[in-house]
Structure 1
Amino acid sequence: MRKATYLLPVLVIVAAAALSSVFIVDEREKALVLQFGRVVTVKEDPGIAFKIPLIQDVVKYDDRILSREVGPLEVTPLDDRRLVVDAFARYRIADVKQFRQAVGTGGIELAERRLDNILRSQTREVLGSVRSDSVLSSDRVSLMNRIRDAAITEARGLGLEVIDVRLKRTDLPQANLEATFARMRAEREREAADEIARGEEAAQRVRAQADRTVVELVSDANRQSEIIRGEADARRNAIFADAFGADPEFFEFYRSLNAYRAALGGDNSSMVMSPDSEFFNYLKSDKGRE
Structure 2
Amino acid sequence: MKNFVAGAVLFLIVVVGANSVFVVSETERAVMLQFGNIVETDIPPGLHFKVPYVNSVRKFDARILTVDATPQRYLTLEQKALLVDSYAMWRIIDVERFYTATSGDESRANALLAQRVNDGLRNKFGERDLQEVVSGQRDALMNELTTELNTYVANEYGIEVIDVRVKRIDLPDDVRSSVYERMTSERQREAQQLRSRGNELAIGIEADADRQEAVLLVEAYRDSERIRGDGDAQAAAIYSGAYTQDAEFYSFTRSLNSYRDTFASKSDVMLLDPESDYFKYLRSDETQ
TM range (shorter): 0.5 to 0.7
State the SS of the aligned residue for 1:71: coil
Of the three residues 106, 116, 119, the one matched with 1:118 is 116
Distance in 1 (alpha carbons) for counterparts of 2:71 and 2:37 = 38
Superposition TM-score, scaled by structure 1 size: 0.61
Q: Hey, what does 1:37 align to over in structure 2?
A: 36
Q: Hey, what does 1:179 align to over in structure 2?
A: 178
Question: Would the alpha carbon gap of residues 192 and 55 (structure 1) be closer, same or farther in structure 2, given more than 3 Å must change?
Answer: closer
Between Structure 1 and Structure 2, how many residues are aligned? Answer: 194
Question: Would the alpha carbon gap of residues 164 and 174 (structure 1) be closer, same or farther in structure 2, given more than 3 Å must change?
Answer: same
Of the three residues 144, 150, 168, the one matched with 1:152 is 150
Of the three residues 127, 130, 133, the one matched with 1:132 is 130
Distance in 2 (alpha carbons) for counterparts of 1:84 and 1:181 = 16
Q: Hey, what does 2:72 align to over in structure 1?
A: 73
Q: Hey, what does 1:89 align to over in structure 2?
A: 88
Deviations 1:159-195 (A, max 9, x none): 11101111222232222112222445567789999x9
Range with greater deviation from structure 2 (107-116 or 43-52):
43-52
Q: Hey, what does 1:169 align to over in structure 2?
A: 168
The within-5 A match list for 1:236-251 is: none
State the SS of the aligned residue for 2:39: strand
Structure 2: which 5+ runs fail to align?
A: 196-288
How big is the shift at 1:135? 0.7
Aligned 8 A contact 1:29 1:44 in 2: no
Superposition TM-score, scaled by structure 2 size: 0.61
State the SS of the aligned residue for 2:135: coil
**Aligned letter for 1:87?**
S
How big is the shift at 1:155? 1.2
How big is the shift at 1:104? 1.6
How big is the shift at 1:121? 0.6
State the SS of the aligned residue for 2:103: helix
Aligned 8 A contact 1:25 1:43 in 2: no
**Aligned letter for 1:138?**
G
Q: Hey, what does 1:62 align to over in structure 2?
A: 61
How big is the shift at 1:143? 0.5
Question: Would the alpha carbon gap of residues 190 and 159 (structure 1) be closer, same or farther in structure 2, given more than 3 Å must change?
Answer: closer
Distance in 1 (alpha carbons) for counterparts of 2:11 and 2:182 = 82
Cα RMSD for the two superposed structures? 2.6
Distance in 2 (alpha carbons) for counterparts of 1:33 and 1:41 = 5
Aligned 8 A contact 1:118 1:154 in 2: no
Distance in 2 (alpha carbons) for counterparts of 1:42 and 1:110 = 20
Distance in 2 (alpha carbons) for counterparts of 1:161 and 1:187 = 41
Distance in 1 (alpha carbons) for counterparts of 2:136 and 2:189 = 28
Q: Hey, what does 1:100 align to over in structure 2?
A: 99
Deviations 1:234-258 (A, max 9, x none): xxxxxxxxxxxxxxxxxxxxxxxxx
Distance in 1 (alpha carbons) for counterparts of 2:140 and 2:164 = 11
**Larger CA Rg, structure 1 vs 2:** 1
Aligned 8 A contact 1:84 1:170 in 2: yes
Aligned 8 A contact 2:42 2:94 in 1: no
**Aligned letter for 1:132?**
L
Percent of pairs with identical residues: 35
State the SS of the aligned residue for 1:64: coil
How big is the shift at 1:15? 2.1
Question: Would the alpha carbon gap of residues 191 and 51 (structure 1) be closer, same or farther in structure 2, given more than 3 Å must change?
Answer: closer
Aligned 8 A contact 2:84 2:169 in 1: yes
Distance in 2 (alpha carbons) for counterparts of 1:98 and 1:16 = 32
Distance in 2 (alpha carbons) for counterparts of 1:171 and 1:59 = 41
Q: Hey, what does 2:267 align to over in structure 1?
A: none
